[in-house]
Every structure is written in C-alpha cells, then in structure tokens.
Amino acid sequence: MGTLDEAYRSSPPLLLSIDHGPRIVSTAIDYLIQPGGSLHGRLRVPGDKSISHRAVILGSLADGVTRVRGLLEGADVLATIAAFRAMGVGLSGSGEGRLRIDGVGLQGLQAPSAPLDMGNSGTAMRLLAGVLAAQHFDSELTGDASLHQRPMRRVAEPLQAMGAAVTMGAEGRPPLRIAGGRVLHGIDYAMPVASAQVKSALLFAGMYADGTTSVMEPAPTRDHTERMLRGFGYPVSSTDGTASIRGGGRLQGCDIEVPGDLSSAAFFLVGAAIAPGSDVVVQGVGVNPTRSGILTLLRQMGAAVEVTNNREAGGEPVADIRVRSGPLRGIAISAEQVSLAIDEFPILFIAAACAEGETVLRGARELRVKESDRIAVVAEGLKRLGVDARETPDGMSIRGSRISGGEVDSHGDHRVAMAFAMAGAGAEGAITVRDCENVNTSFPGFAELAVDAGLSIQSMVRES
C-alpha cells in the first residue's frame, strides 16, 4: 500500500472523489470461495474504523500536532481526511497507518469550496454534522447512492434543538445542508434509539455550545468518543448511561495508537469457529467493553474463545483473541445485547447458520437502516445457500444446517460481502458473492489476508 499522500493524488474516484458529480464505476468485484480447508495463523486486522474517524476529527480540531499510528486507510476514513483537508487542515501520511495532523483548533476550520463527499460512510456524515453545526460558514454533506438512503433525522433533529440550522433531503435523508453562524446551546437529550454516532455528534456540537449538553442512552453504546475526548484533554463525564460535556474547552494534540478493529477481526473469529481444524489468533484487537458483544455471543454459542495479553493502547483496552473450531449451538439473542454487537450481526448470522438448533434475534430493527437492510439481505442470501432463515420486523430466526454452494448478492454492503465470503469456510459447495468492491471502505486487504489464513477466495473483476 502506498502512502496516504499518494492515495490522495492517485486513488480512483470510487475512493476519494470530491467532484460531487455522479459516481461512475465501470467495473465490479465478485468473490469466489471454494469449500474446504481450515484457517490458521496469527493475524493482524486493520485499525479500528470508529476510532480512526474520531482521531482524524479531534486531531483536526485540536491545538498543535496529533500523530496517529494504526489508522485504518479504508475509503470511509479517507473520506473524513479529505473533508478536513478541504476545510484547511494539514494532514500528511507516511503510509502503514501513520498520519500527522496539524490541528487548527476548535475555531480554525475554513469554509470548503464544494460539498463534502462522505462516500459510503454514515459514521462520517453524522459525526461531521455535529462539528459543522457550530461553524461560522455554510456547508453541505453528501455521499454515494447508498448513503443517500440512510436516515439522518436522528442526528439532525437534536442538533436543531441545540439551535443548529440543518436541512435534509426527502424523507430525512442526505444531503445535509448546514447554515453557519448559529449560536448553539446545551440540551438534555434522551436518545430514542441507542446510537454512538448520534451521541458523538451531539458531544462534538456540545464543545461549541453554551452550557452543558447531556445525552442519555437507552442502552450502552461504544464510548470511543468519550475516551478520546479525555485523551485530548477535554473533560467529559459518563455516569449512569448519560454522557455530558460543557462548551468552551480546548483540545490539545496528542499521540494516538489505533487498535485492530474487532468488527474486522470478527470475520476471522467466526471463520475459525465454523471451519473444521481451524485455530486462529488475531493480535492487537480493541476489546472495549461497549462493543465486545461479539465475544460474549460466540461464547454463548459454545465457541472456544480465549482473550489473552490484555493491555491498553491510546486509552483503549487491547488484547489477542484466539478461536478454535468446534460445534456451535443456537441461542436467543436479547434486545439488550444488540447495541454491543450491532456491526457484527452479518457474520454472527453465518455462525448461526452453522450452529445446531435455532438462533433467534429480536430488538435489532437498526440493522434495516445500515449500508443495506442487513436483515433482508442476509436472510435472502442464506436462503439461496439452503439455510432456513426467516425475517421478523426487528430481527431474524435461523435454523442451523449445512451451507450449500450458490450465488448471493451483497447489495454493495461491505460487511455482508465479507460475511458471505467467510461462510465459504463452512460450506459444502462454492459460493459466489456479488458486488464486493465496498469491502475497501472498512477492510482493505481482506481477501489477501483471508487467503493467507487458509480461505480459498478469489477476487474477480467484471464489467458492471
């Protein structure tokens, strides 16, 4: 992989286009996975996407220099970097996940000359909405066709309650247009749906607001923002499910080490659990308790999961995770467990398809408004592979069986694509997964690492 600077100069429009016209991609990528084999080795997955986004945002708004190691160099994070470059922040990369950010301070952003293109990243759009709501200039956040189907009222409405001028497209979807020069005031906001993205956007806006902004969660969500704010020297309190911040503080540049992404590691953990004879260790993975539900659920299913070498990096708990193959059993997943594993359900559905008995998920309606309707898309794919999968309005029931070969469509969803690719580790026949190019948004090098681990996967380019 080249340097980040080279990526900005030479990457194709799919990754870093900021011309904001129609996105034209002439080729598509499919995966072909052959059955058999097992997964082995000590692996490292790319840096955590959620933490990488926040490091770029807070480093840009800090006084002084921030140096980041382990940054995810996927398309989503590159879009966030491009946005802050467009607003006058100096960001330079030397490759291998290293990034220097010359912060401009909370008041130092400049008006961009064009709309800010967030690509496929709902995280970037929602987090930046919180920052841009407090600026002195007008701005617009846009993205690709998939992102333009994502709901934005959940972040726009509380920002409007703080005094921001945010308008949306039809049905509360992107683009977001934000008028500058508004005075924000702190609010007490009880989120109707647990969302770390909404919480983070309001905390970012709260740095600029008069008074205190408090966000109450209906269920625990990842706390990367609170941890990182403290790391940058900005006080934030977290008690009894409420995060609070007072406006008027400062961020001071610092050094950040981004741990491996547990959501990315999850594909290999499940692959090892379902492929006979497998034994995999994923090293240096973030195991923040607000998002490690995947480990709890796998253990409940009977997977042999070991967490060792616990340590801390950049204020985040980190460990090595070992999984060996073995029989899995179906479980009932409670609504209380959903927010702690929300991004891992596509691969958890694959584990359920290989388990004995029935797995039932409820309280996960949020999965219907991700990069795809992950309930409908995964259920459709599992049925094509001979698995008894039944949708419910807020979840799914899956009766475990052998996975046959066949063809499935990821509908452009990176996590669905990787989940069905890893399903090949436990399948009886070859699986073709269509439309996998968006895997680069969160896991560049996924197919290559999977091959190194023992999965028989081939990337095939075709005209789209």
Q: Report the pLDDT averaged over residues 254-274.
A: 97
- Residues 300, 251 within the same domain: no
- Residues 307, 164 within the same domain: no
CB-hemisphere CA count at 13 Å for 198? 24
8 Å CB contact between 457 and 21: no
End-of-domain residue from the set 227, 257, 287:
257
The DSSP letter of residue 193 is S
Banded pLDDT at 95 (limits 50, 70, 90): confident
Burial pattern 304-313, b for ≥16 Cβ within 10 A else e, equals ebeeeeeeeb
- Alpha-carbon Rg for the chain, nearest whole angstrom, is 21
Q: Taking all residues of the chain, what is their mean pLDDT, rounded to a whole number?
A: 93
- Residues 38, 186 within the same domain: no
Judge whether 413 counts as a catalytic residue.
Answer: no
- Residues 158, 303 within the same domain: no
> What pLDDT digit, counting tens, does each position of 199-219 carry?
999 999 999 999 999 999 999
> What pLDDT digit, counting tens, does each position of 144-184 carry?
999 999 999 999 999 999 999 999 999 999 999 999 999 99
- Residues 149, 205 within the same domain: yes
Beta strand pairing call for 457-463 and 279-286: unpaired
**Which residue intervals of 180-240 are DSSP H helices?**
196-206, 224-231
The residue segments making up the domain with residue 17 are 4-47+260-463
Beta strand pairing call for 388-392 and 395-399: antiparallel
pLDDT higher than threshold 80 for residue 373: yes
- Residues 353, 450 within the same domain: yes
- Residues 41, 138 within the same domain: no
End-of-domain residue from the set 257, 282, 297:
257
- Residues 171, 307 within the same domain: no
Here the CATH number for the domain that contains residue 395 is: 3.65.10.10
* Rounded Cα distance, 181 and 103, in Å: 21
Q: How many domains does the chain have?
A: 2
| The pLDDT of residue 94 | 74
Cα dihedral 433/435/440/443 (nearest 10): -20
pLDDT higher than threshold 70 for residue 5: no
- Residues 125, 231 within the same domain: yes
The pTM (predicted TM-score) of the whole model is: 0.89
- Residues 95, 173 within the same domain: yes
Tally of CB atoms within 10 A around 63: 16
Dig out the tokens for 244 from the structure: 């609070």
- Residues 200, 266 within the same domain: no
pLDDT higher than threshold 70 for residue 142: yes
- Residues 237, 323 within the same domain: no
| The pLDDT of residue 377 | 98
pLDDT higher than threshold 90 for residue 20: no
Q: Out of 117, 223, 343, 413, which one is annotated catalytic?
A: 343
- Give the 3-state secondary structure of 122-150: HHHHHHHHHHHCCCCCCEEEECCCCHHHC
The torsion angles phi and psi of 382, rounded to 5 degrees, stand at -65, -40
